[in-house]
């Protein structure tokens, strides 16, 4: 007989402070590992590197605003994918949905920039970005609802079709043949979102803050939110109580895609005023982690998206100060994620040492 | 004409081999019920580990021995991707973490490792261009069959590749054989389809998942190694590997989880890519090529949709794909 050293069992829900403590310990351990890795790989003092990361994110007011903008956009995408995740629909197509939203928005700016009044243009951009994102999210949902087509793989593939569509239009719109669309409407600023209080990122932050409240209420206090949670828990139960599962799947994914479209809108209309294939910057994937780490809770997502953006933004200073490669922050991000992901186990399960009487007898 | 066909055909194969490695590895992994979205990261690590091995071997100053020049990068690559597979297995099997999240984190981590060490090596080597050339070890990897050139178009089409390319094809056939014709494969498929039943039948679910994922990662990592040492002639440039990892995952679906079909499908994928960038008519608009590049993904979606519509049992994704297994939840 094989004797196991541990006995693992599911544990009842923990008090919140205990689970928080476990996560904090996990992050602390992760930072220790990061410090060791930093010393081994770069020979730098890890404390210097960490402090450089902090100053890279918060050093100046410009940097703070850039960090806030990063959080706002990542949070927006995370909010977008969350309703789908609650329904156990693994939407890893955020990347493509953002791109399509941004593409639709940029198309409006280019083709109608000088044609219609600015407020009409912004309205058109908003509507078209939302619709484009919703369509891109809706297509896999229809197939999932009708034929149970694997949504993880479908949404993943849709990302690259979106990327190529954007690449195509970038080539069409660029006059010089480099495939890079410069700033759109630089002279007239047509379709550029208004700058509030002299801070060009402020509007984005406000819009996303409103979205946090909206998604929170939608998930927890609306009939739709209830229905999609039931579908996520058990499709059979949902059918039994008379919920139209197909309808809920498609509706939720339309919302998910639409919110990703909003992220595209905020990027193109709000800040970049340009479009490229890398505009989403992997946020569609990062958002999966943000949302999951926050246990699909929109308010907690503010914290988790902050952690990830901090790691990314902080790396900009590392690059210049230590001559390190920017990718170093990806390694640190990966390590920290592994620890947080792993810590979930200790929150959900109890581990008991098995007292092996047989062995003791020998 | 014939020589031109042979030229593009061999280009298609060279383009397809990294995908074949990746998809064979991912198929084995998925057959155990693990959806490893970290494969792109694994392939980066496989590539950079090989590069690191080759770099230090070239720098060591010793007279370069062709055998060691291949063996050292190969072992480094296998070790690197094995570690990636172990990280994924430990988190998803032992700690039962969410597979999608773990996989995506692994991709972030792996691409970061690749670009960080790639960038560092470029700096060490003091090159003027942002890339690192390992021409000597690469030449060992690119050694062709001695009689390939003397056989005209036939030689170019079928014999002009390096040993890693043939290895990829052999591994794919062996994987197909093991999956379908052996007890080991039967057990593995049982674990992926229904771990509860497999467990009840006395199969060690955790061990199968671990081994399949780790072996799968090592195979996928070789795709990265092939790309940099052979396809790219030993030139590492950051992000040079591109989205091939995701394309490999697409290929898994396209082949409906059958590695032997993967041999032909990877050539098809490579062929579509070569056609897209070289041959298909664009009507004078260069931008159309960008649309052609979406074709492999579009083909994958079509296969995915058709298999789900026809709903034939043997063509479906493994039943428990993406789900962690915990005995006490039965």
Q: Which segment, A62-71, B183-192, B237-246, is predicted with the most confidence on average?
A: B183-192
| Counted domains in chain B | 1
Q: What is the pLDDT of residue A360?
A: 46
CA pair distance B316, B313, nearest whole angstrom = 6
Query: How confident is the model at residue B73, as a pLDDT?
Result: 92
Residue B161: what pLDDT? 82
* A35-44, A245-254, B163-172: segment of lowest average pLDDT: A35-44
What confidence score (pLDDT) does residue A362 get? Answer: 41
Would you list the domain boundaries of chain A? 1-44+324-362, 57-216+247-300
pLDDT at position A189 over 70: yes
Query: pLDDT of A245-262, one tens digit each?
Result: 999 999 999 999 999 999
Residues of B in contact with A331 (CB under 8 A): 109, 112-113, 116
With CB atoms and an 8 Å threshold, state whether B294 touches A288: no
- Per-residue confidence (pLDDT) for residue B125, from 0 to 100: 77
Q: Identify the pLDDT of residue A359.
A: 47
Task: Find the closest chain A residue to B90 by CA distance.
Answer: A342
- Crossing angle, helix A245-265 and helix A61-86, to 10 degrees? 170
Q: How far A214 CA sits from the closest chain B CA (Å)?
A: 25
- Contact status of B3 with chain A (Cβ, < 8 Å): no
Measured CA to CA, the distance from residue A189 to residue A187 in angstroms comes to 6
Name the DSSP letter for residue B142.
T
User: What is residue B148's three-state secondary structure?
Assistant: coil
Average pLDDT over residues B61-87: 90
Asked if B105 and A160 come within 8 Å (Cβ–Cβ), the reply is: no
Measured N-to-C along each axis, helices A245-265 and A202-221 cross at an angle, to the nearest 10 degrees, of 170
Confidence band, pLDDT 50/70/90 cuts, at residue A195: confident
Contact B246 A160 (CB under 8 A): yes
| pLDDT tens per residue, range A314-356 | 766 776 677 677 788 888 888 988 998 898 888 888 877 776 5
**For range B70-90, the mean pLDDT:** 95
Distance from CA of B104 to the nearest CA of A (A): 7
Buried b (16+ CB within 10 A) or exposed e, B211-233: bbbbbbbbbbbbbbbbbbbbbbe
Confidence band, pLDDT 50/70/90 cuts, at residue A222: very high
Q: Which of residues 267-286 of A touch B (CB under 8 A)?
A: 282, 285-286
Query: Measured between alpha carbons, how far is A36 from A298 in angstroms, rounded to an integer?
Result: 33
CATH number at residue B112: 1.10.3470
- Which residue among A159, A338, A344 sits closest to B87, beta carbon to beta carbon? A338
Residue partners of A99: CB distance under 8 A and separation at least 6 = A159, A162, A163, A165, A166, A264, A277, A279, A280
Report yes or no: B208 and B192 within 8 Å, Cβ to Cβ.
no
SS (H, E, C) chain A: CCCCCEEEEECCCCCHHHHHHHHHHHHHHHHHHHHHHHHHHHCCCHHHHHHHHHHHHHCCHHHHHHHHHHHHHHHHHHHHHHHHHHCCCCCCCHHHHHHHHHHHHHHHHHHHCCCCCHHHHHHHHHHHHHHHHHHHHHHHHHHHHHHCCCHHHHHHHHHHHHHHHHHHHHHHHCCCCCCCCCCCCCCCCCCCCCCECCECCHHHHHHHHHHHHHHHHHHHHCHHHHHHHHHHHCHHHHHHCCCCHHHHHHHHHHHHHHHHHHHHHHHHHHHHCCCCCCCCCCHHHHHHHHHHHCCCCHHHHHHHHHHHHHHHHHHHHHHHHHCCCCCHHHHHHHHHHHHHHHHHHHHHEEEEECCCHHHHHC
Most confident of A231-240, B184-193, B248-257: B184-193
Nearest CA in chain B to A291: B101
Q: What is the mean pLDDT of residues B103-121?
A: 90
CB burial class (10 A; 0-12, 13-18, 19+) of residue A342? buried
Closest CA to B192 of B218, B215, B221, B213: B213
Is A357 a residue whose pLDDT tops 90?
Answer: no
* ipTM score of complex: 0.86
- On chain A, the residues whose CB falls within 8 A of the CB of B306 are none
Tell me how far apart the terminal alpha carbons of chain A are, to the nearest angstrom: 15
Mean pLDDT calculated for residue range A83-107: 93
Chain B residues lying within 8 Å of A41, measured CB to CB = 116, 120
Contact between A329 and A312 under an 8 Å Cβ cutoff? The reply is: yes
Average pLDDT, chain A: 86
Residues 6+ apart with CB under 8 A from A183: A273, A274
* pLDDT tops 60 at residue A361: no
What's the sign of the alpha-carbon dihedral A80, A84, A85, A89? negative
A333 touches chain B (CB under 8 A): yes
Check: CB of residue B120 under 8 Å from CB of residue B132: no
pLDDT of residue A155: 93
Is residue B315 less than 8 Å (CB to CB) from chain A? no
B238 touches chain A (CB under 8 A): yes
Cβ of A342 and B91 within 8 Å? yes
Size of interface A-B (CB pairs under 8 A): 173
Residues in chain B within 8 Å Cβ distance of A92: 37, 100, 104
Angle between helix B99-125 and helix A283-293 axes, rounded to 10 deg: 130
Q: Which helix (H) or strand (E) holds B133?
A: strand B132-133
- Cβ count near A240 (within 10 Å): 10
Return the SS3 of B265: helix
- Whether A333 and B108 lie within 8 Å, measured CB to CB: yes
Provide the chain A residues 119-178 that lie in CB contact (below 8 A) with chain B: 143, 147-150, 152-154, 156-161, 163-165, 167-169, 171-172, 177
Instruction: Give the DSSP letter of residue B63.
Output: P
Chain B: residue whose CA lies nearest to A288? B101
| Closest CB to B328 among A10, A159, A323 | A10
Q: Which of A147, A164, A288 has its CB closest to that of B290?
A: A164
Residues 6+ apart with CB under 8 A from B265: B23, B251, B254, B255
Q: Which residue of A has its CA nearest to B96?
A: A345
Q: By the 8 A CB rule, do B49 and B80 touch? A: yes
Stretch B190-204: mean pLDDT: 90
Dump pLDDT digits (tens) for A259-285. Answer: 999 999 999 988 888 888 888 888 998
Q: Percent of chain B, pLDDT > 90? A: 41
Contacts of B272 in chain A (CB under 8 A): none
User: What pLDDT sits at residue A333?
Assistant: 85
pLDDT for A250 equals 94
Task: Tell me the nearest-neighbour CA distance from B290 into chain A, angstroms.
Answer: 5
Other C-beta atoms closer than 10 Å to the C-beta of A243 total 18
CB of B112 within 8 Å of a chain A CB? The answer is yes
Instruction: Grade residue A106 by pLDDT with cuts at 50, 70 and 90.
Output: very high
Contact state of A90 with B253 under an 8 Å Cβ cutoff: no
B-facing residues of A in 279-318 (CB < 8 A) are 282, 285-286, 288-289, 292-293
Q: Which of B100, B106, B311 sits opposite A90 (nearest CB)?
A: B100
Measure the CA–CA gap between B103 and A203, rounded to whole angstroms. 34
The Cα B154–Cα B56 span in angstroms is: 37
Tell me, yes or no, if B162 comes closer than 8 A to chain A by beta carbon.
no
- CA A330 to CA A336: how far, in whole Å? 10
Tell me the C-alpha distance between A284 and A76, whole Å: 10
Q: Which residue range(s) make up the domain with B110? A: 2-329
Whether the Cβ atoms of residue B174 and residue B182 lie closer than 8 Å to each other: no
Counting DSSP H helices and E strands in chain B, the numbers are 14, 2
Q: Find, in chain A, the residue whose alpha carbon is nearest to that of B91.
A: A342
Question: Can you give the pLDDT at residue A236?
Answer: 87
Using one digit for the tens of pLDDT, what is the confidence trace for B255-310? 889 999 999 999 998 888 888 777 777 666 777 888 888 888 898 899 888 888 88
| pLDDT higher at A65 or A3 | A65
């Amino acid at each position: 007989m094989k004797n196991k050293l541990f006995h693992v069992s599911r544990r009842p829900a923990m008090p919140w402070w205990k689970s928080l403590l476990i996560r904090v310990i996990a992050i602390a351990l992760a930072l220790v590992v990061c410090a060791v890795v930093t010393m081994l790989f770069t020979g730098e003092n890890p404390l210097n590197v960490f402090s450089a990361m902090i100053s890279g994110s918060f050093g100046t007011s410009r940097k703070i605003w850039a960090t806030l903008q990063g959080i706002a956009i990542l949070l927006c995408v995370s909010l977008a994918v969350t309703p789908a995740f609650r329904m156990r629909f693994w939407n890893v197509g955020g990347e493509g949905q953002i791109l399509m939203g941004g593409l639709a928005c940029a198309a409006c700016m280019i083709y109608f920039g000088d044609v219609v009044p600015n407020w009409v243009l912004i309205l058109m951009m908003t509507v078209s970005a939302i619709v484009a994102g919703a369509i891109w999210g809706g297509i896999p949902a229809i197939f999932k609802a009708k034929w149970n087509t694997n949504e993880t793989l479908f949404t993943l593939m849709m990302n690259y079709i979106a990327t190529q569509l954007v690449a195509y239009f970038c080539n069409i719109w660029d006059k010089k043949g480099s495939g890079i669309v410069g700033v759109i409407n630089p002279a007239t600023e047509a379709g550029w979102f208004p700058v509030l209080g002299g801070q060009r990122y402020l509007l984005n932050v406000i819009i996303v803050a409103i979205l946090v409240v909206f998604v929170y209420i939608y998930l927890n206090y609306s009939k739709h939110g209830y229905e999609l949670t039931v579908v996520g828990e058990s499709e059979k139960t949902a059918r039994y109580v008379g919920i139209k599962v197909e309808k809920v799947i498609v509706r939720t994914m339309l919302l998910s895609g639409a919110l990703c479209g909003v992220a595209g809108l905020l990027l193109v209309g709000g800040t970049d005023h340009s479009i490229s294939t890398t505009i989403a910057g992997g946020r569609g994937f990062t958002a999966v982690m943000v949302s999951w780490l926050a246990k699909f809770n929109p308010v907690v997502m503010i914290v988790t998206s902050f952690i990830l953006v901090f790691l990314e933004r902080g790396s900009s200073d590392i690059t210049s100060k230590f001559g390190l490669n920017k990718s170093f922050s990806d390694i640190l991000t990966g390590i920290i994620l592994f620890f947080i992901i792993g810590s979930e186990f200790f929150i959900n399960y109890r581990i008991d040492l098995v007292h092996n009487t047989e062995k003791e007898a020998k | 004409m014939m020589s031109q066909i042979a030229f593009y055909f061999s280009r298609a194969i060279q383009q397809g081999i990294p995908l074949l490695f990746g998809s064979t590895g991912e198929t084995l992994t998925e057959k155990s019920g693990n959806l490893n979205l970290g494969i792109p990261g694994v392939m980066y690590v496989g590539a950079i580990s090989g590069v690191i091995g080759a770099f230090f071997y070239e720098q060591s100053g010793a007279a370069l021995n062709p055998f060691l020049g291949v063996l050292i990068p190969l072992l480094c690559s296998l070790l690197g991707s094995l570690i990636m597979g172990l990280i994924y297995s430990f988190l998803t099997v032992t700690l039962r973490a969410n597979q999608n999240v773990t996989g995506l984190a692994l991709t972030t981590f792996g691409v970061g490792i690749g670009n960080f060490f790639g960038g560092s090596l470029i700096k060490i080597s003091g090159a003027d261009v942002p890339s690192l050339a390992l021409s000597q070890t690469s030449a060992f990897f690119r050694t062709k069959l001695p009689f390939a050139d003397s056989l005209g178009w036939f030689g170019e089409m079928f014999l002009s590749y390096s040993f890693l390319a043939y290895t990829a094809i052999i591994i794919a056939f062996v994987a197909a054989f093991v999956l379908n014709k052996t007890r080991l494969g039967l057990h593995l498929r049982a674990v992926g389809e229904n771990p509860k039943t497999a467990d009840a039948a006395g199969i060690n679910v955790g061990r199968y998942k671990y081994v399949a994922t780790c072996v799968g990662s090592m195979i996928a990592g070789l795709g990265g190694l092939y790309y940099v040492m052979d396809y790219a002639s030993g030139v590492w440039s950051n992000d040079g590997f591109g989205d091939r990892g995701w394309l490999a995952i697409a290929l898994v679906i396209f082949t409906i989880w059958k590695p032997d079909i993967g041999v032909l499908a990877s050539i098809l994928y490579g062929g579509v890519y070569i056609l897209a960038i070289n041959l298909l008519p664009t009507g004078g608009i260069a931008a159309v090529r960008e649309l052609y590049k979406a074709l492999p993904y579009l083909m994958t979606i079509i296969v995915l949709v058709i298999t789900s519509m026809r709903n034939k049992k043997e063509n479906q994704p493994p039943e428990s794909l993406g789900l962690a297994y915990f005995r006490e939840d039965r």
